[in-house]
Structure 1
Amino acid sequence: MPDNGRLSKPVEKRVSVSVFKNVIVYRIEPAWSQTLAEAEEALAKARFEPCGPSQEKSAGWVEPRGEANGPLVESIDGQWLVEYMIESKAVPGSVVRRKLDERCAQIEATTGRKPGKKEKKELKEDITLELLPMAFTRSARVAVWIDKAENRLVINSGNAARADEVVTSLVKSLDGFAVALINTQVEPAAAMANWLLTQEPPAGFTIDRECELKASDDSKAVVRYAKHPLDIEEVQKHITDGKRPTRLALTWDDRVSFELTHGMLIRKIVFLEGTGDGAAGGKKEDNFDADVAIATGELGQLVPALLDALGGEAAFTGAPADAAAPKPVAEAPTTTTPADAEAEEEDAPF
C-alpha cells in the first residue's frame, strides 16, 4: 500500500484490458429486481438494427461478446455486462448548402421568385434525405456494467450526452429500473484542492503528475501540468489564488491509475501490472471473461475507496422508472469534450 503524500512514479507496465476507459458511475434504485432472463428478454425488444438507406441514426443493444445471436446480457462472476450500439450517418453541411444554393437558383431562374425561409427548410430536408444513402456510416459501442449486488451502474463513456442516451434506453427497457448519478458528501474539486495543498491524499491513493486548475472568476484562466511534479509551491499558490482543480491524476493501491474530474468522471483508466496475472495473451475472444473479471474486480474496489475518500456517498434520490433518465454531469470543455470522448469510444473493442 502506497504511503500518503508520495508522488507515484511513472508506470510503464500495463495490463491490456480495454473494457473501461472513461466511466460515469450511477446508483441503481435498490427496489429493481429483474432476473437475468427477464433483462435479456427486455433488451431483446430494443436490439440494434443497422441504419436504413434514408435513416440518419439507429441505436440498440448488441452482443457484448461480439458473437452473432449470442446473449445480450453476459454474466461473469455475477457481474452483468451489456453493450449499446450507436450508428449514425451524416451528410457534410457544405455539400447540403451547395445543393440548396443550386436548387434555389434553379427555382429563381424558372419562376422568377426566390424561395422563402419555409421552402428553403423543406428543400434542405429533401436534399439531406437524397444524400443519406451515399453518406458514410459512423458507429460507437458503449460498454455497460450492472453490479446488482452493489446496486451500481457503470457506463464506459466520457460523453455526458451519450451516457444519458444509454441510461434512457435502460430505463425504458428494464421494468422498474431507475438510477441517479453518484453524489458524494465532499465535492471532488474541494477534495482535490485539499490533497494538492497538503500533499496528503487519502489512504491508498497517490498523486500522480498531471492536473488541471481553472479560475472560478470571469477570466476562466486554465493551468495544466503534464508529467510534472505537483508538490511545488506554484501549484499551491494557484489554488490559494482561487483556481480549482478540474482534474487530477491519481493511482490507487499501485493497481489502477486514473484521472478524477470535478464532475465525478473517472477518466483515462489504466490497469497496472499485477492486476491481470494470467489474463494477457491469446485472442480477444479468449480473454473476454478475464478482461471483464479484471475490470469489474478492480473498479469494484476502487469506486468504494474513492467514495470514502470523498466523504462517503450522499443519499440515493432515484427517479421513478417511467420518468426521464437523470442527466449526467457534463464536463467542462477543457476537461473532456464530447468530440474527444467520441474519438476514444468509436468502434472501441469491448
Structure 2
Amino acid sequence: MIINKAYVSTIQNGVDLSKFESDLKDHIFKPCEKSSAFSSGWVPVIRNSDCYLLQSHGCGLFRFCIETRKVDSSVLSEELAVKISNIELQEGRTVGRKEKREIREDLETSLLPSMHSKKAYIYCFVDTISSLLVLGTTNASQIEKIIFYLVETFGDSLGIRPLAPQASPSKILTDWILNNEAPASLEILNQCDVAESSEDKASVSFKNIEPFSSEVTTFLNQGFQVKSVAVSWADRLSIKLSDDLMFRNITYGDSLKETAFHDSEGGEMADLDAMFAITSLTLREFLSSYFKWFDIATPQYDQEA
C-alpha cells in the first residue's frame, strides 16, 4: 500500500481539489543542478504521467520529490588529508583549524558536481472531508521540507496546523497497558517502548513480550511511561502508535489488500487508484477514532470510535 508511515496535521481552511492540481503544476520538481546540493518539488503520482493529483472520495493524492547531492565523507576526508599533507610538506608549516575548515569547504564545493544524487519520493494526501493532511514520512527533515514547499505552493491558504492533543499521549498509552484501558477496537500487540520521565531518560524496548506482563508493568509501576506501542485496529490495520503522534509500521489487513486488487481494472494508474481509495478511506476512519482517543480537536469528525 502507498502509506506505511505517516505524519498527520490538520488543515484549517477548505481545499478546492479542482484547483489544487494546477497549483501543484506551478511548482513542479526540477532536477538538481550539478553544483547544487538540493532540489525539491511536486512530481506526477506515477512516472511518465501528467497526473499530479489523483482524487478519490474527497481525498487528493500527490507526490513530492527530494533530490540531494552530497560529497561522500570518506572521499572528502581522503582529499582533505592529501591537501593538508602537501601544504605542510611544501610550505613547512602546520595547517591550523580555521584554514583546515576553509580547505574542507573548498574541496566540498569542487567535488560536489562529480557526486551522484539521490532521490526520495513521498506520497501525501489531503482529505477535504476530514480536514487532514497526511504525509507519508516520519523523517523530520522531509516533513519540514514538504510543509515548507506546501506553503511555497499555496501560501497559508491551507492553514496547516500540527495535532494538538489535550492530554499527554504518553500517559494515555501508559494507561492503556498499566490499567488495561485500551479502546475496545484495539488489540495491543507484543511490541512497546518505555522510558523514564526524568531527565536521565533511560529507555527499554520490548519485542515479542506480552505488554501486560510483569516484565513491562514493573517498569511502568516504577514511573516509566510508554513511548510507543504496536496495535491492531479492527483487524484492518496494524500500526505503531507513539507519543510524538507519528504513525509507523503501518500494515494493512489481507482483506483490504484483496479489495484493492479486485477493484483495480489493471494498469499502474488503476492499481494506484484502487490502493489510494482503500488507504484514504481506512485511514480516515482510523483517524476519526484516534482523534477521540487522544482528545484532539477537529470540527469534521463525527464518526463513532
TM-score (norm 2): 0.88
Query: What is residue 130 of structure 1 aligned with on the other side?
Result: 110
Which has the higher relative contact order, 1 or 2, with Cα contacts under 8 A spaced 6 or more apart? 1
Q: Residue by residue, what CA displacement relative to the aligned partner does 1:9-54 show, whole Å, maximum 9, x if unpaired?
A: xxxxxxxx2x111111101122x44x33432232223211222222
* Of 57, 63, 66, the match for 2:44: 63
Which digits, 9 at most, give the CA deviation of each residue in 1:168-192, with x for residues without a partner? Answer: 1101111423211112222221111
In structure 1, the residue corresponding to 2:259 is in which secondary structure? Answer: coil
Tell me the secondary structure at the aligned position of residue 261 of structure 2: coil
Residue number in structure 2 paired with 1:295? 279
Partner of 1:52: 33
* Aligned equivalent of 1:248: 229
Shift of 1:112: 4.9
Question: C-alpha distance in 2, partners of 1:234/1:126?
Answer: 54
Cα deviation, residue 119, structure 1: 4.3
Tell me, in whole angstroms, the C-alpha distance in 1 between the residues paired with 2:93 and 2:178.
Answer: 69
Q: Contact between 1:213 and 1:224, CA under 8 Å: does it hold in 2?
A: yes
Secondary structure in 2 aligned to 1:172?
A: helix
Q: 1:23 — aligned with what? A: 6
Distance, in Å, in 2 between the alignment partners of 1:250 and 1:160 is 23
Is 2:288 the counterpart of 1:307? Answer: no
CA contact (8 A) 1:183 1:314 kept: no
SS at structure 1 position matched to 2:273: helix
In the TM superposition, residue 290 of structure 1 has moved relative to its aligned partner by 0.6
Cα offset, 1:157, TM superposition? 0.7
Per the normalisation by structure 1, the TM-score is 0.78
Is the aligned partner of 1:146 residue 2:126?
Answer: yes
List alignment gaps of at least 5 residues for structure 2: 300-305
Q: Please, which moves more after superposition, 249-258 or 74-83?
A: 74-83
Cα displacement (A) at 1:132: 2.0
CA distance in 2: counterparts of 1:185 and 1:218, whole angstroms: 23
Alignment of 1:210-289 (within 5 A): 210-280=191-261, 284-289=268-273
Shift of 1:109: 4.4
Aligned residues: 296
Say if 1:214 and 1:222, in contact at 8 Å, map to a contact too.
yes
- Equivalent residue of 1:103, what SS? helix
Indicate how the Cα distance of structure 1 residues 111 and 230 shifts in structure 2: closer, same or farther if over 3 A, else same.
closer
Distance 2:214 2:267 in 1: 48
Distance across 2 between alignment mates of 1:45 and 1:139: 21
| Cα displacement string for residues 216-240 of structure 1 (whole angstroms, at most 9, x for unaligned residues) | 2344322222122222233222111
RMSD between superposed Cα atoms in Å: 2.3
> Quick one: percent identity of the two aligned structures?
25
Read off the aligned partner of 1:49 and give its amino acid letter: K
Whichever residue aligns with residue 184 of structure 1, its letter is P
- Distance, in Å, in 2 between the alignment partners of 1:73 and 1:284 is 15
Q: Deviations over 1:129-157 (max 9, x none)?
A: 32223323221111111112221101111
CA deviation vs aligned residue, 1:182-220 (integer Å, no higher than 9, x gap):
122222211111110122311311211111111223443
Given that residues 209 and 226 in structure 1 are in contact (C-alpha distance below 8 angstroms), is that contact kept between their aligned partners in structure 2? yes
Deviation at 1:283, TM superposition (A): 5.4
Query: Secondary structure of 1:220's match?
Result: coil
The reply on whether 1:203 has 2:187 as its aligned counterpart is no
Letter paired with 2:47: G
Could you say what secondary structure the match of 1:71 adopts?
coil
